[in-house]
């Protein structure tokens, strides 16, 4: 598909103002402004810009880092990840059987596109939904997002140095005056400025640690040309093939083997990085067609996803809700200490369920289950899925399963008699 044939939807119907009226962006703006204002205030006493050329460069560098952090934060939020057009279909109708269909967007999912339940749209090359920009990170804004993380770490590291040095100078001000070192006794801290200094030192160090970890995973994803979602798909592809081989060998075919899955988008770290990291921050390509390695095609990954979904449906088990579920993340009072203190380590939603509801379960944990509520209306589009306490439900067994079990048990007895 040619680039001009794809009309990118960047804002998903939201104005720029509405994009920032969420707790995540407001918290991010508060952290940036708090650290910036407090750092400039203390720096004006500890190392004022007019005192020397080095002091001027020090302050100019910090202001630049703060401005670049704010700029890339805003651009990440307002540019967006590039949403797949509603009702999208491939140019060649024969390709439709190699793609997944999105019932919510009423169109096919392009290669590397995934539906975000928070944005309520299919996102091109979706990596994750970031609550701090109230938007997804994907094909359109990944470059701005990485630069935002980079400048935030650099700016907060610089701020932490200035704040800690200023705090030290302020705490020892009386000592410097007593020893007549008046040039060092320039930082004067009130009670509130002392509290705010310590608070912003904590913020700065916290940002460096937390955002540093996120930047590490983003850079790794860029060099591998593999999003977090695609990491998960690849892990399942490897596990799926191992399970097939193991089952065949347990059945007696010791030489059975399957061709390993080849991830199609890893073109080498230099070419991978060139698709995202550039000074213009503009996305490379149209977000639908991608360079692939030899032996693969545009639908190699989507065919694997379809196969994984088919296996997922095959292992699905149905449960009936026996005790009301509120959808709480920590249901301490209703389901006890063990359930509340061992939640799934994921940001996936929890669902509220009533007694008698049916749920198709696809994932199991010791105290939690993940599944999709069975809708009463057959044509219902909205899907309600998420985690719920295991104690709330009972598994439903098919009569055919019992017949199969009895038949297998009878066969095993006959073998022993023989």
Catalytic residues: 130
- Residue closest to 388 by CA, chosen among 330, 338, 309: 330
Under a CB-based contact definition with an 8 Å cutoff, are residues 98 and 105 in contact? no
- Whole-angstrom distance, CA of residue 273 vs CA of residue 267: 10
- Whole-angstrom distance, CA of residue 158 vs CA of residue 372: 48
- Whole-angstrom distance, CA of residue 126 vs CA of residue 142: 9
Listed in order, strand segments (DSSP E) in 61-172 are 101-102, 107-108, 114-116, 121-123, 128-130, 135-137
| DSSP-derived 3-state class of residue 225 | coil
DSSP 191-219: HHHHHHHHHHHHHHHHHHHHHHHHHHHHH
Under a CB-based contact definition with an 8 Å cutoff, are residues 325 and 392 in contact? yes
Sign of the CA dihedral running 151, 215, 72, 224: positive
Please state the separation of Cα 106 from the chain's center in Å.
Answer: 24
- Whole-angstrom distance, CA of residue 372 vs CA of residue 349: 11
Q: Nearest-5° angle of CA 237, CA 345, CA 213? A: 85
């Amino acid at each position: 598909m040619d680039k001009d044939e794809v009309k990118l939807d960047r804002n998903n119907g939201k104005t720029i103002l509405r994009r920032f009226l969420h707790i995540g962006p407001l918290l991010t703006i508060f952290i940036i402004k708090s650290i910036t204002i407090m750092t400039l205030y203390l720096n004006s006493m500890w190392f004022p810009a007019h005192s020397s050329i080095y002091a001027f460069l020090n302050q100019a560098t910090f202001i630049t880092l703060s401005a670049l952090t704010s700029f890339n934060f805003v651009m990440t939020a307002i540019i967006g990840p590039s949403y797949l057009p509603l009702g999208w279909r491939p140019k060649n109708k024969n390709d439709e059987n190699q793609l997944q269909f999105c019932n919510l967007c009423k169109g096919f999912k392009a290669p590397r596109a995934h539906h975000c339940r928070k944005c309520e749209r299919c996102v091109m090359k979706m990596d994750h939904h970031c609550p701090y920009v109230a938007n997804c990170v994907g094909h359109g804004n990944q470059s701005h997002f990485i630069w935002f993380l980079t400048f935030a770490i650099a700016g907060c590291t610089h701020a932490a140095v200035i704040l800690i040095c200023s705090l030290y100078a302020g705490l020892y001000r009386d000592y410097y005056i007593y020893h007549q070192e008046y040039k060092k006794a320039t930082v004067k801290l009130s009670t509130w400025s002392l509290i705010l200094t310590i608070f912003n030192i904590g913020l700065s160090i916290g940002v460096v640690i937390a955002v540093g970890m996120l930047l590490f995973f983003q850079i790794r994803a860029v060099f591998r040309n593999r999003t977090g979602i695609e990491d998960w798909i690849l892990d399942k592809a490897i596990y799926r093939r191992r399970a097939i081989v193991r089952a065949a060998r347990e059945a007696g075919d010791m030489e059975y083997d399957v061709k390993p899955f080849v991830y199609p988008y890893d073109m080498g770290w230099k070419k991978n990085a060139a698709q995202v990291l550039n000074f213009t921050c503009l996305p490379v390509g149209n977000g639908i067609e991608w360079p692939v390695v030899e032996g693969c095609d545009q639908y190699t990954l989507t065919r694997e996803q379809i196969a994984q979904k088919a296996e997922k449906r095959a292992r699905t088990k149905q449960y009936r809700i026996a005790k009301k579920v509120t959808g709480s993340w920590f249901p301490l009072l209703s389901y006890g200490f063990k359930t509340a203190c061992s939640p799934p380590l994921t940001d996936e939603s929890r669902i509220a369920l009533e007694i008698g509801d049916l749920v198709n379960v696809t994932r199991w944990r010791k105290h939690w289950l993940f599944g999709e509520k069975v809708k009463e209306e057959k044509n219902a589009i909205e899907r309600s899925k998420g985690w719920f306490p295991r104690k709330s439900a009972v598994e439903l067994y098919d009569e055919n399963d019992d017949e199969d079990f009895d038949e297998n048990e009878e066969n095993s007895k006959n073998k022993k008699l023989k």
